[in-house]
Structures are given as C-alpha cells and as structure tokens.
C-alpha cells in the first residue's frame, strides 16, 4: 500500500506534461520493439510503389501506341491525285501530356522507393537500440526533480524526443498515405487506370486498321486500278471517322491522366511535404520546450 501511495504522490507531483511524455516514451518503446507499425507501413508503401510502377507501365504503353498512330499514314488517290494523310497527328498534344505523365510517374515511383529506404533505415537495429536506451534514460529523468546534472537531463530528454520523431515519421507517413488513398483516391485511381488501358487498346486497334494491305495503285491492270480507286474512295470516307475516334480517345486520355497526376502528386509530394512541415514544427517545439519550468525542477 505504501508503494501505491508513493506512486500516486509521484504522479500527482509530476504534472500533466510529464505524464504525457512518460506515456509517449513507453508507447514509443513498445512500438519500436514489436515493429507492428513498421510492418503495416511497409506493406502499404509496397502497395503504393507497385501502383506507381503499374501506372508508369500504362503511361509508356500508351505513349508507344500514340507514337505509332502519329507515324501511320493513310494513302488515298481521289481522282488520280495522290494524298498521304496522318490522322494520328491529332494526338500530338496528348502525346506530350503522356510523356510528361510518364516522367511524373517515374518521379513518384522514385519517391516511394526513397520512402522504403528511409523505412528500412528507421528500423535498423542499432538505431532501435539507441532509441530504447535514450527513452529509458528519459523516463528516469522525467520524475527526478533535482538541480543536479540539470543540463545533462534536459539534453537526454530533447534527444529522446528528436529520436521519436525520426523513428516514427516514415511509418506514420506511409500509414496516413494509404489511409487517405483508400478513403478518397482509390475509386478514382481504379477508374482512371481502367479507362487508360481501354483507350490504349482502342488506339492500337485503330492503328492496326490503318495497316491493312493496300493494293498497289501503280499496277496497270484494269482490275487492280479499280481496286485502288475503290480503296482510295473508302479511305477518304473513313478518314473523318478515324479522326473522330482519335479525338474521343484524346478527350478520355487527357481527363484521366490529369486525375492520376493529381493522385500521385498528392501521395508522393503533398502528404510527405505536410509531414515534413509537421516534423519541422515539432523539432522547433522540442528545442524551445522549457523543461526547467515544467518537468525538471520545482518553482
């Protein structure tokens, strides 16, 4: 009973800030040792990394079929006048956007790869042991109210808080990223990638329809000349249809590429940048925290 009374007295005298730090240190030690948070975060970062790789592949494939479309010529000879048309050139602005999109996806994939490396560094055994060592010392310092070695104790507490920030920033960023993705972005991502894959197939089919064997208009037989004339007339009528198909594909592609750009910029730049700002302000707060008045000594 004496031990419980003494513990109760210590808790009352410690104050709310001391208790908060004590709970924070204990929780940090627990999560650092069992690594449940790290395992979950790694799985989520791996999922985001795979999504970025898949989307990058979609962008490169789309870029390829558009490039083929731009280089495909339709040769027609109405009234004996030879004309070469390239309806796929209407996709030129879209192709520029797709090329930039592929670069953004490469940058997003790289960003997620860097997050994976930082996560591996944060769970490095030596760093984990160092964290446990400082947090254990910090817990001892929190409830020892004496002027002796005051500056050393303050140093230990500051280092403990800084190590907590460094240790758990990447795992928490990964978890927050996946949480936001599942709640707000997943449906948009699935819909946009499916549309881009479908559009890629449509453009590829249009390209293949332009590559059918055409009769040689230079052959001299009446039958071959008639076939060439018929082919040219049909192609003339079909060019507008192909242009409309390309326009439709371009409209779908542009809208959904922009959607994916927003999604991945949000996941790989906005959210990490937000956490960096939070970390910066946390570190500033830790540096300015007045341990003398609130944690170490009595007034």
**Residue 68 lies inside a defined structural domain of this protein:** yes
pLDDT value at residue 81 = 47
Structure-model confidence comparison of residues 293 and 24, the more confident one: 24
**Residue 6 lies inside a defined structural domain of this protein:** no
pLDDT value at residue 79 = 45
**Residue 205 lies inside a defined structural domain of this protein:** yes
**Residue 183 lies inside a defined structural domain of this protein:** yes
pLDDT value at residue 17 = 73
- Note the pTM of the prediction, 2 decimals: 0.79
Q: What is the pLDDT of residues 35-89, one digit of tens each?
A: 899 999 999 999 999 999 999 999 999 998 888 887 765 555 454 445 555 666 7
Question: In the structure, what pLDDT confidence band is assigned to residue 216 with cuts at 50, 70 and 90?
Answer: very low
Structurally, the chain folds into a number of domains equal to 1
**Residue 88 lies inside a defined structural domain of this protein:** yes
Is 20 buried (19+), middle (13-18) or exposed (0-12) by CB count in 10 A?
A: exposed
Across the range 98-109, mean pLDDT stands at 92
Position 142 pLDDT exceeds 60: yes
**Residue 237 lies inside a defined structural domain of this protein:** yes
**Residue 55 lies inside a defined structural domain of this protein:** yes
Looking at every residue in the chain, the average pLDDT score rounds to 79
- Do residues 172 and 275 lie in contact, with contact meaning Cβ atoms separated by under 8 Å? yes
Position 263 pLDDT exceeds 80: yes
Most confident listed range (142-151, 153-162, 192-201): 192-201
Q: Which two tokens stand for residue 292?
A: 């003398």
pLDDT value at residue 153 = 82
**Residue 194 lies inside a defined structural domain of this protein:** yes
- Do residues 156 and 134 lie in contact, with contact meaning Cβ atoms separated by under 8 Å? yes
Q: What range does the domain containing 185 cover?
A: 36-132+167-296
Report d(CA 31, CA 122) in Å as an integer: 12
């Amino acid at each position: 009973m004496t031990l419980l009374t003494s513990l109760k007295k210590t808790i009352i005298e410690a104050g709310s800030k001391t208790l908060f730090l004590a709970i924070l240190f204990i929780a940090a030690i627990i999560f650092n040792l069992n690594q449940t948070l790290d395992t979950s975060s790694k799985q989520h970062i791996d999922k985001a990394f795979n999504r970025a790789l898949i989307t990058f592949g979609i962008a490169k494939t789309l870029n390829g079929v558009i490039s083929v479309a731009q280089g495909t010529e339709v040769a027609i000879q109405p009234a004996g006048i030879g004309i070469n048309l390239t309806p796929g050139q209407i996709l030129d602005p879209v192709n520029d956007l797709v090329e930039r999109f592929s670069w953004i996806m490469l940058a997003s994939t790289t960003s997620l790869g860097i997050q994976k490396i930082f996560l591996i560094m944060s769970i490095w055994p030596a760093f984990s042991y160092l964290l446990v060592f400082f947090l254990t010392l910090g817990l001892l310092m929190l409830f020892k109210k004496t002027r002796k070695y005051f500056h050393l104790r303050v140093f230990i507490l500051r280092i403990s808080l800084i190590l907590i920030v460094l240790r758990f920033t990447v795992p928490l960023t990964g978890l927050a990223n996946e949480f936001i993705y599942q709640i707000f972005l997943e449906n948009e991502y699935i819909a946009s990638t499916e549309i881009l894959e479908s559009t890629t197939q449509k453009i590829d089919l249009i390209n293949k329809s332009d590559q059918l064997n055409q009769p040689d208009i230079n052959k001299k037989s009446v039958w071959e000349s008639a076939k060439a004339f018929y082919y040219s007339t049909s192609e003339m009528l079909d060019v507008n249809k192909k242009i409309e198909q390309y326009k439709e594909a371009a409209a779908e592609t542009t809208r959904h590429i922009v959607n994916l750009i927003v999604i991945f910029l949000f996941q790989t730049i906005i959210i990490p940048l937000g956490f960096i700002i939070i970390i910066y302000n946390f570190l500033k707060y830790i540096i300015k925290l007045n341990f003398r008045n609130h944690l170490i000594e009595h007034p």
